[in-house]
Structure 1
Amino acid sequence: MPYYYFALASQDFLINKEPVEEILRERTNYYHSIKKDIDFWLLKNSDFAYYSQFRYTEQQFNRPMAAIVSLDAQFIQWLKLRVGFVKIGTFESSSLILK
């Protein structure tokens, strides 16, 4: 099973207060230029953030929450430095849909 890495914050912060759209657009363009498959996703108000293994995050952020999930740990680390007020972590799953 693959490991997924994530940066989690309130949806308002990630979408409205930070230039996440620009960051993801630039990364997408870079991936296309090097012919690499997209390995990251923006999840808005997803059930992902509310699973028991992430319960500690509910007290840190206002709902709804959003997450950027990736297979690339270095991208999430860079995103943490670039965006700032996000919680990062990892989980192992056979798919992005947790059960």
Structure 2
Amino acid sequence: MAQTYYFLAASDRFLQGHQAQEVLEERTRHYLAHSKAIDFWLVRTPAFLAVPEFADLRHRCPAPAAAVVSTDGQFILWLKHRLQYVLLGQFEAPSAAIPDPLAVHTAAR
């Protein structure tokens, strides 16, 4: 059964930067303190960006790209407000185009 995944994408350098890492670490601590399962992942060079439906987004996002992927759309929106210079999207997976939502794209872009 397909699940909706929400994401924000930015350059890998931006999402590996101090501000983004601090926000993600803070959120991880919050989840753990409240016994909430982690439902977000940092994916470097995400394979889902290679699908045709994300061609425009892929061209607007500095390479190499990274994404924070979550099943919680509200979390992604919250994160966008903290990081600002990111692109948002969503997709259904698994699907024929995106069999694994957290897969890493291994070919050069």
| Superposition TM-score, scaled by structure 1 size | 0.87
**How far is 1:23 from its partner?**
0.9
Which stretches in structure 1 are left out of the alignment for 5+ residues? none
**How far is 1:2 from its partner?**
1.1
Query: Taking every aligned residue pair, what percent have the same amino acid on both sides?
Result: 39
Q: 1:91 to 1:62 in 2, by over 3 A?
A: same
**How far is 1:36 from its partner?**
1.0
SS at match of 2:16: helix
Task: Please name the residue that 1:46 is paired with.
Answer: 46
Q: Which amino acid aligns with 2:19?
A: P
Aligned length: 97
* Segments ≥4 residues shifted beyond 2 Å: none
**5 Å matches for 1:70-85?**
70-85=70-85
Task: Please name the residue that 1:89 is paired with.
Answer: 89
Checking the alignment, whether the CA contact within 8 Å between 2:14 and 2:20 is kept in structure 1 is no
Which stretches in structure 2 are left out of the alignment for 5+ residues? 95-99, 104-109
Q: Which amino acid aligns with 2:5?
A: Y
> Aligned-residue CA RMSD in angstroms?
1.6
| Superposition TM-score, scaled by structure 2 size | 0.80
